[in-house]
Structure 1
Amino acid sequence: MTATAPKLLSEPRVLWPAGATLGEGTLWSVRRQSLYWVDILGRTLYRYHPATDARESWPFDEEISAVAERAGAPGLLVTLRSGFAFFDTDSGALEKLHDPEAHLPGNRFNDGKCDAQGRFWGGTMDFGCTEPTGSLYRFDAKRQCQKMFDAHFAVTNGPTWSLDGRTLYFNETAQQRIHAFDFDADSGEISNQRLWLRFAKGDGHPDGMTTDAAGRLWIAHWGAACVSCHDPVSGEELARVALPTSHVTNVAFGGPDLRTLFITSARFELTEAQLAAQPLAGALFSVDVDSPGRAATAFAG
């Protein structure tokens, strides 16, 4: 049975015309009632507070790609080009933890988030977006890091999980493919890789994604100026959000009722002519939806 199509209750709004080179890393903080996001290539962490329109930023000495709040301590778990680290936005303290790919200087971390058990899953990729060197790692509260999938993808994105927690979805962005895996929540193991969805030619590349409270997947389209919503089993498209810039990169539900979809974008790889035609490239957007997303799980450590 196909999931019900959601209703979009507003046109996309521009929240922060930041001009990010590569906006990514969306995370709604229930604790702060704010949205964290990053500019990977601009090496900056942002925090946006919708109730007051307050905007904060923190510069880094290297690329920062994904964030998760910590359950048992203040601050965040972040992925940097050099691996996992803790970062406290209040004090500015940075504690580097583990670099699983120190032997691959041409790689960097990209997208990532926590599973329902509070383990962080982060994918790596080739900095030049061409070599098939990406993998998927799991990092837990004991600071143990394990390579879960030697993907051989040039660019990894996601992951997200099905509503019942039994399926993990992971993007092979450059090849326009989204893969599904069986997911064992207790052990944190994945198996049975299969192709779940392939984007049509001309429909861009699957970038960041999230799962809402009805189990539907919302996927950002790099190069196609939109976010699409899909049935979690069949992959059938149920809705589409059009954006005024082509490189749409990541999505997360937030707001007091989790009915606001926050959307990041990028200026990276756009020509001067394209940038002139897309003045909002690199902005943070939002759109209201009739049904909620799910609160992000904090890192258990």
Structure 2
Amino acid sequence: MTGQIELVMDAKAALGEGPHWDPVEGKLNWVDIDGKELRVYDPHTGSEEIYSFDKKVGAAVPADGGGWILVLQDGIYRFKINEPLELLALVEAELPGNRLNDAKCDSRGRLWFGSMNMKNKGRAGSLYVMEPDGGVRKVLSGIGISNGLAWNDSLGLMYYIDTLTFAVDVMDYSVQDGSVSGRRTAVQFAEGEGWPDGMTIDSEGMLWVAHWAGGCVSRWNPHTGEQIGRIEVPAHYVTSCTFGGENLDELYITTARGGMSPEELERWPLAGGLFRVKPGVKGMKGNFSSC
């Protein structure tokens, strides 16, 4: 864990989130939720392509056959460059105070995504999964802020973060049918460490968790609940992380700057940037959406 963290894009994102590495294109997809943008970073050129929408963008996952599956504020959409958005499913239309948030796909191409109240009131959120045939089912309810997702297929485990619990939970998970059961705590955040936000898993089965209002990404052994590593990030609101690069040995980290005071921005001028570090371990290949 000795790699030097570097700023790769001074994006000044209001709410940078949801990084996904596309190994086919060799690019990093991430979003600015409040900026209503999908951003595609090319490490070979150091440049970005930015696509803007009229709704908050909770996540963007590369899709089989090209383009992306977008998790927008009110539903799931298919997006291809120079083509109109295609609505796949409206979600929680009966809850206008909610929006959809973080999302990832499992190894079978199912899209897992969650929701949250936009004013962080109560536990009105849920966790959903969209099957490759387009069907959507609710998996969990009573969620505060649905966030990080990760899987360990070899052990039949799924990891999940509801930020308001200050914990990472684990569930028994069936690769075959996508069912989960036995939700329990795997990692508990200590007071003063910030809030657990986005998450990824490495090739050793260890979890990497972004600390909202904690200025770091931490590494955890989910089998013992022990913190085994930490990377300081020059931003207060660290939102998510994922492994990328040709060898999946680079950890990309997203951050946010929305709502920060002038004093906070002076202290963390790089807030909202996209960062990268080589932590000395490799990640797992990300999954494309089959929806």
**Which TM-score band (shorter chain)?**
over 0.9
- Taking the TM superposition and a 5 Å limit, the aligned residue runs for 1:187-198 are 187-198=177-188
Partner-residue secondary structure (3-state), 1:274? helix
Q: Which amino acid aligns with 2:100?
A: F
1:45 to 16, 38, 41: 38
Aligned twin of 2:101 = 110
SS of the residue aligned with 1:56?
Answer: strand
The Cα of 1:100 is off from its aligned counterpart by 2.1
The answer as to 2:66 corresponding to 1:74 is yes
Question: Pick from 71, 77, 92: which aligns with 1:85?
Answer: 77
CA distance in 1, matches of 2:144, 2:139: 16
Instruction: Note the C-alpha offset of 1:157.
Output: 0.6
TM-score scaled to structure 1, two decimals? 0.94
Aligned residues: 291
Instruction: Indicate the residue corresponding to 2:52 in structure 1.
Output: 59
Shift of 1:65: 1.1
Out of 280, 284, 289, the residue aligned to residue 294 of structure 1 is 284
Contact 1:163–1:211 (Cα < 8 Å) also in 2: no
Measure, in 2, the Cα distance between the counterparts of 1:85 and 1:47: 18
Letter matched to residue 91 of structure 2: P
Please report how far the alpha carbon of residue 131 of structure 1 lies from its aligned counterpart in structure 2 after TM superposition.
Answer: 2.2
Q: CA deviation at 1:165?
A: 5.1
1:261 and 2:251 matched:
yes
Q: Secondary structure at the match of 2:159?
A: strand
Which of 196, 209, 213 aligns to 1:206? It is 196
Question: 1:56-205 maps to which residues of 2 (within 5 A)?
Answer: 56-71=49-64, 73-88=65-80, 90-150=81-141, 152-162=142-152, 164=154, 166-205=156-195
Q: Distance in 2 between matches of 1:268 and 1:180?
A: 31
C-alpha distance in structure 2 between counterparts of 1:274 and 1:39, whole Å: 20
Task: Output the amino acid matched with 1:239.
Answer: G
Alignment-mate amino acid for residue 234 of structure 1? T
Q: Secondary structure at the match of 2:218?
A: strand
Q: Structure 2, unaligned stretches of length 5 or more?
A: none
- The answer on whether the counterparts of 1:171 and 1:207 sit within 8 Å (CA) in structure 2 is yes
Matched AA of 1:21 = A
In structure 2, distance between residues paired with 1:167 and 1:264: 25
CA contact (8 A) 1:163 1:215 kept: no
Calculate the aligned-residue CA RMSD, in Å. Answer: 1.2
SS of residue in 1 equivalent to 2:177: coil
Following TM superposition, where does structure 1 have runs of at least 4 consecutive aligned residues deviating by more than 3 angstroms? none
Residue identity matched to 1:149:
L
